[in-house]
Amino acid sequence: MTHTFTTRTLDITTGSRETVYDLTEACAEFLREVAAGRDGLLNVFAPHATTGLAVLETGAGSDDDLLAALHDLLPADDRWRHRHGTPGHGRDHVLPAIVPPHATLPVIGGRLELGTWQSVVLVDTNVDNPHRRVRLSFLG
């Protein structure tokens, strides 16, 4: 059986607000172009020290609940030793320890195998950097 590896980088603008940015359609489009109906794995990676990736329901309040929970866990105040940037920016550097900057997801028949309400999202609490890259890699 022959395996192929294909990768692409997405350029994302998250803006100047904390956000949960839905990547699901971009992942699906990438797989339509490269998976050719094969089974395999999609790896999603954000090469940033202040973002994470998650799989969760969006549009029904869960994305806002996630940001609220992160505010409770990682308050944007002066407690952080990492002090450059906007006040509380140090918490953004702790985020990837809680919301990792990677996810590996199953691909079946060339399609992302997610649950009914699951979406792949970029979690970005860093308001100092509105430009992000996300690497999509398919092995199948």
Class of CATH domain 5-139 = mainly beta
How confident is the model at residue 83, as a pLDDT? 83
Sheet holding 111-112, edge to edge: 5-13, 131-139, 40-45, 102-108, 111-112
Whole-prediction pTM: 0.94
pLDDT one digit per residue (tens) for the chain, 140 residues: 567 999 999 999 998 899 999 999 999 999 999 999 999 999 999 999 999 999 999 989 999 999 999 999 999 999 999 888 888 899 999 999 999 999 999 999 999 999 999 999 999 999 999 999 999 999 99
pLDDT digits (tens, 9 = 90+) for 77-106: 999 998 888 888 999 999 999 999 999 999
pLDDT of amino acid 1: 54
Helix axes 62-73, 90-98, angle to 10 degrees: 120
